[in-house]
Structure 1
Amino acid sequence: MSTLEEHVDVGVPIDRAWDGLHRVENYPRFLAGVREARTEAGGRARLDVEAGGPAREFEAEMSDRAGERVLEWRTTGAPRLAGSFSLLAIDQDHTRVQARVEYDPATVRETFGGPKGFAQANAIERLVRGDLEQFKEYVEQER
């Protein structure tokens, strides 16, 4: 498994950033390739994703460690992906959003296509960085 960690500082209080991460139906606004997202019973979310090939549907389990401001997730089928979003208040009006993604490069390549090796790691890093920047824009506009 490979692990990627990226972060972005957003100009909103921690509660607003936390609420933004929990609006699953708005994931298409900031997660590249997500066409539709919906919450389901039992802490699950269903995502319709189109990335590097035909559209696919993924189910993810999501769990909160609200006291720590950590949202963890993992896919329930193939490809096996897992990660978390951790929030840290910088000050009253600014929050650091830390994204952590765990993935198997071979599985990601089989599922979504794309380059091999270091080039794939760079592509995934750019994707996560772009998603964080889009989250920043989304949550700051939701004032």
Structure 2
Amino acid sequence: MSSVEETVEIAVPVRTAYNQWTQFASFPLFMRSVRKVEQIKPSLTSWTIAAGPLHGVFTAEIVEQEPDSRLVWRSLGRRPVHRGEVSFRPTARGGTRVTVRMDIAARGSAGLLAVVPGLAGRVVRGELRRFKEYIEGLGQESGAWRGAIREGRPRHAEPDRKVSGVPCWPVG
């Protein structure tokens, strides 16, 4: 198992950074390794990833989510085997410090991230940098899911926004 921790400071408030992070379907817009994310239910997502020779589909379960604070997930199934956490903390200048921590097993093709020294850190660092550029460029979030999840179960599952008067379930 390989562990990685990367942090980036973003010049938007915590609420804005957190709200955008909950919009998983937008990840392919700024993450190079993510091709598609489908929200199966509030605590379950399906990810299609590709980076160089690595590609695949996996399901991730959100096991804990606290608005404006943190989100904890784990992959389900056999590959890739990983778990992680992203936290959001205010900076003195009114921005946000986003920290991603991940543990990745050295199995299958995704195991390259775990066995090649420094590779996982470089990938996570690059994806965080692109998230920073994306949300700072937008200046505001494109949506939000303000619910909490404990032990994989949503505590609040009401639509957060409406589009043309129709409730819009958040993606994330």
Q: Same fold (TM over 0.5)?
A: yes
Distance 1:115 1:100 in 2: 14
Distance 1:68 1:116 in 2: 29
- For the pair 1:59 / 2:59, whether they are aligned, the reply is yes
Residue 135 of structure 2 corresponds to residue 139 of structure 1: yes
Q: Confirm or deny: 8 A CA contact 1:53 1:112 kept in the other structure.
A: no
Deviations 1:61-117, CA, capped at 9 Å, x for gaps: 11443157111111101221000100101136300000001012x21xx32375884
Match of 2:153 in 1: none
Q: Structure 1: how far apart are the matches of 2:68 and 2:23? A: 19
Pairwise CA RMSD: 2.1
Which residues in structure 2 correspond to 1:6-25 (within 5 Å)?
A: 6-25=6-25
Q: Does 2:125 match 1:124?
A: no
SS at match of 1:16: helix
Aligned mates of 1:72, 1:23 — CA distance in 2: 15
1:56 Cα offset (Å): 1.6
The aligned amino acid for 2:20 is G
Inter-partner Cα distance in structure 2 for 1:67 and 1:42:
13
In the superposition, relative to structure 1, how do residues 102 and 96 fare at CA in structure 2: closer, same or farther (>3 Å)?
same
Aligned residues: 138
In the other structure, the counterpart of 1:95 is 96
Judged with a 3 Å threshold, the aligned counterparts in structure 2 of structure 1 residues 38 and 91 are, in CA distance, closer, same or farther, namely farther
**Runs of at least 4 residues off by over 4 Å:** 113-117
Which residue pairs with 2:75 in the alignment?
75
Q: Paired residue for 1:112?
A: 110
Q: Distance in 1 between matches of 2:54 and 2:113?
A: 17
Gaps spanning 5+ residues in structure 1: where?
Answer: none
Identity score, percent? 29
For residues 17-61 of structure 1, what are the alpha-carbon distances to aligned partners after superposition, in whole Å with 9 as ceiling and x for unaligned? 001110011111232321111211151111111123364211101
**Contact 1:14–1:87 under 8 Å retained in 2:** yes
Cα distance in 2 between the residues matched to 1:28 and 1:43: 19
Larger Rg: 2
Q: Give the alignment's TM-score, normalised by structure 2.
A: 0.72
Q: TM-score, normalised by structure 1?
A: 0.85
Q: Is the 8 A contact 1:53 1:113 kept in 2?
A: no
Distance (Å, rounded) in 1 between the aligned partners of 2:129 and 2:97:
12
